[in-house]
Structure 1
Amino acid sequence: MTLQSEPRRRLLLGAGLAALLPSAWAQTGWPAKPVRIISPYTAGGLGDILPRALASVLQPRIGQPVLVDNKPGASQVLGAQAAMRSEPDGLTLFWASTTSMAINPIAQKKLPYDPLKDFAPIAICFTAPLYLIVRPSLPVKSVQELVAYARANPGKVTFASGGNGSTNHLAGELFAQQAGVKMLHVPYKGAGGAITDLMAGTVDIMFEGNGVEYARKGQLRALAVASNKRTRAAPELPTIAEAGVPGCEVGVWFGLAAPAATPQPLVERIATEVQHALVDPELARRLPDVEITPSTPQQMAAQVRADTAKWRKVIAAANVTFD
């Protein structure tokens, strides 16, 4: 994630005053109806929990219910299409992510939408960092030791993922490229099976969002976080850059986008409300393992472009194929 901390500090400074003022939406009489967030994720997972958490702090500000409508399928394409075809009135928004906005355009040759032509970015809201975790019996206790071990055993260190083209797969490829090592990718049909085999010692390493939890239970060992800064969940863990391998920042971000024809002034007003909702202390308390990363529409658009370019380069260099 390349978003800087300064915008968040400005939001924090202004949040107290903003809470005392009438909402921009209330002042204009908008929205007159409930707001719907189309999520391309199934119920119960992180991609579903996060928009519901945002909705809980957003709806008191706007004076209307904020509802989450799950439309999973086709690697998030079904939800994206439903949102893209909605009226550009700010009442239907899309729960966008790294996958739908930056990876799908590379992975799917006939993707029926263009992230920046068919959508108007509103704000990145959350980032779920990936942790570098290893099997307990692997004889390494730091990133540098892992790099040395991989160099001494070229092509023999295995890294697991939830499938070809998944975020944890691409994270492993990026790490190998940045560290100058050769590792063997072992794809699974979902992250669950990969983690099970990692704990059993069948594979060696993995990049995983829930890595800290497994490390705390003693089931796996966490070496570092693939982020540009240490996380709230595990401040004791260094970033991979701090540990000696720069350029390995990987996180799954989530945010809001609107249909492309949504008027820009309306996009900006929605973004302002979302930004102020995100600094609600209750949100940080409810989501201790996720980084809250509010952005502007312009920052979100820049992030989409940067991530697409980064992953296109990684995918080409590693000759990644998609399931």
Structure 2
Amino acid sequence: MVVFVGAGSSGDVIARIVAQPLTAALGQPVVVENRPGAGGTIAADAVAKASPDGHTLVLSNIQPHAVAPAVYPNVPYNPMRDFMHVAMVAEVPLALAVSAQGPLQDLAQFVALARVTPGGLRVGTNGNGSSAHVTTALFGRLAGIDLTHVPYRGSSAQAVTDVIGGRIEGAMPSLGDVGRNDRMRVLAIAAPQRLAGWPEVPTFREAGYPEMVVSVWFGISAPAGLPDAIADRLHHEIQLALARPERPSCLTSVS
């Protein structure tokens, strides 16, 4: 199972949560292989060109399968034609986060500070052309502020580390990447409404930005041409994995 982000990121964790029960169900190891870089297109391209025998899968995602084809001029695959999309496994909203030790307490203060900061505030994402990059640019346009995009390779983990260390002012990770880190303060989430697990965190909508609803979705895909019998077996076993009571709440069974 090829993963487009680095080890320890939310995508990597999701892949491993799915891989473990698949290993037991299929009777053979499901190995997670991290291939970050180029907005996820390296991992996606490797699987698009693999044999459609069910032995090579990819953690598909909004980044390499939706955003990258729109922002990169020469993506070497077609996200619809070159893949068999087997199952949807998770949906996690993006979030704007700052250091908990800093002065910013809410989104209005972030916008006000950006307006008086030459060049705008620095916001880290998991790379150029990523969904977080596009979302950061969208927020800057909606708020009428300049934001300096700081790309990191393949994961938001380093962006979070640099926010904590004071090297950049903010980050736009998925909520799963910032989690319950008590050194970070989540100013807003790009969800339609507040989440049960984070009832204290407002949405961008509440702050006056109704267009800011952006979720990072994750699925399992295979090369195009995968036989229907194999696709059906994989879909069935993934659904059983998602139905386990101990699964994280971000993973949801989708038929």
TM-score category, normalised to shorter length? 0.7 to 0.9
Query: C-alpha distance in 1, partners of 2:173/2:37?
Result: 22
Check if 1:293 corresponds to 2:249: no
1:132 and 1:206 in contact (8 A); partners too: yes
Q: Secondary structure at the match of 1:122?
A: strand
**Aligned equivalent of 2:27:** 64
Please give the per-residue CA displacement for 1:211-249, whole angstroms capped at 9, x wherever unaligned: 3433x2xx3322221223434542321222233321212
> Which residue does 2:150 correspond to in 1?
187
Report the CA distance shift for 1:90/1:228 in structure 2 as closer, same or farther (over 3 A): farther
Q: CA deviation at 1:150?
A: 5.6
The one-letter code sitting in structure 2 at the alignment partner of 1:168 is A
**Alignment root-mean-square deviation, CA:** 3.1
Gaps (5+ residues) in structure 2?
none
2:188 to 224, 234, 243: 224
- Contact residue 114 and residue 120 of structure 2 kept, 8 A: no
Alpha-carbon shift at residue 268 of structure 1 (Å): 4.3
Distance 1:98 1:80 in 2: 11
Separation in 1, partners of 2:26, 2:99: 49
Q: Matched residues in 1 for 2:15 and 2:74: separation?
A: 28
TM-score, length of structure 1 as denominator length: 0.64
Matched to 1:251, the amino acid is: S
Aligned pairs for 1:172-211 (under 5 A) are 172-178=136-142, 180-190=143-153, 191=156, 194-209=159-174, 210-211=177-178
Greater share of helix:
1
Query: 1:188 deviation in Å?
Result: 4.5
CA-to-partner distance for each residue in 1:24-56, whole Å, 9 max, x for gaps? xxxxxxxxxxxxx23344444433332221122
Given residue 254 of structure 2, which amino acid in structure 1 is its aligned partner? S
Q: Which amino acid aligns with 2:121?
A: T
Q: Provide closer, same or farther for how the CA distance between residues 90 and 234 of structure 1 changes in structure 2, counting only shifts above 3 A.
A: same
Hey, what's the Cα distance between the residues in 1 that align with 2:172 and 2:243? 28
Equivalent of residue 240 in structure 1, options 193, 200, 204: 204
Matched residues in 2 for 1:150 and 1:176: separation? 13
Q: Which has the larger radius of gyration?
A: 1
Q: Aligned partners of 1:80 and 1:41: how far apart in 2?
A: 11
Q: Which of residues 45, 56, 69 is equivalent to 1:92?
A: 56
**1:114 alignment partner, one of 68, 78, 85:** 78
The residue aligned with 2:2 is: 38
2:17 to 48, 53, 56: 53
State the 1:160 CA deviation.
Answer: 1.4
Q: 1:197 Cα shift?
A: 4.3
Counterpart AA for 1:54: V
1:202 offset after TM fit, Å?
Answer: 5.0
Deviations 1:261-286 (A, max 9, x none): 124565345323322320211222xx
Aligned equivalent of 1:280 = 244
CA contact (8 A) 1:93 1:259 kept: yes
Tell me which residue corresponds to 1:80: 44
